[in-house]
Amino acid sequence: DSGVTQTPKHLITATGQRVTLRCSPRSGDLSVYWYQQSLDQGLQFLIQYYNGEERAKGNILERFSAQQFPDLHSELNLSSLELGDSALYFCASSADRANKETQYFGPGTRLLVL
Amino acid sequence: AQTVTQSQPEMSVQEAETVTLSCTYDTSENNYYLFWYKQPPSRQMILVIRQEAYKQQNATENRFSVNFQKAAKSFSLKISDSQLGDTAMYFCAFMRGNDMRFGAGTRLTVKP
């Protein structure tokens, strides 16, 4: 158990809908990262938050957004969902801002868009 | 941009034997971090081992060790005394600043 929690574990929705994925980092970790793992794209970094502020952006679509709250949990919002958004979404956390510390991954949220 | 290449899509090994998974990367940076993550059928991403590029000594964690060749930009993972529970996808990852890149993965099957 990495100490990172993600909810829900599974999510099934329809195209055009909007969903919110939730992540709670390990105790004491200030950085939260979101990743997408799909069959065709592999593991891709989406976005990082540090202590409530956006720190870095990766291959995140404009239809996707995220935020980190004062209690350090984070939410990833996916809107206008398309079939291609079906994937495993991971959250990871680390202690630092400068990305020198190891990232620990949560169990993931499996999203299926029908 | 940093790229990470795992040239072995699939590998298999007999239980108790040793297996080496390959990883190469491309970067012009001098300071960075390298990782091996394991993803078993549960899909959880589990850290196996970490290597700081400024350290010449190869990292070791119990049965897992790496062969880090900085000049060759190579970072292979050696699993000794393979166990059935080692069956998983293994991802090599490169991290520098805000950028973390993963290889495509190697599917390892440990056979009894």
Sign of torsion over alpha carbons A58, A59, A63, A66: negative
Judge whether A6 and A106 are in contact, CB under 8 Å.
yes
Q: Give the pLDDT of chain A (114 residues) as one tens digit per residue.
A: 889 999 999 999 999 999 999 999 999 999 999 999 998 778 899 999 999 999 888 889 999 999 999 999 999 999 999 999 999 999 999 987 666 678 899 999 999 999
pLDDT tens figures, B55-109: 889 999 999 999 999 999 999 999 999 999 999 999 999 988 777 899 999 999 9
Chain B CB contacts of A102 under 8 Å are: 35, 47, 50
Phi and psi angles of residue B86, each rounded to the nearest 5 degrees, phi first:
-80, -10
Judge whether A27 and A3 are in contact, CB under 8 Å.
yes
Tokens coding B40: 């078993």
What is the rounded distance in angstroms from the CA atom of residue A25 to the CA atom of residue A31?
A: 8
What is the rounded distance in angstroms from the CA atom of residue A77 to the CA atom of residue A72?
A: 16
Q: Which residue type, as a one-letter code, is found at position B63?
A: R
Alpha carbon dihedral B79, B66, B98, A1, in 10-degree steps, equals: 40
What is the rounded distance in angstroms from the CA atom of residue B88 to the CA atom of residue B55?
A: 28
Across the interface, which of A45, A88, A103 has its CB nearest the CB of B43? A88
Selected residues 83-102 of chain A with any CB under 8 Å from a CB in chain B: 88, 90, 92, 98-100, 102
Helix (H, G, I), strand (E, B) or coil at A4: coil
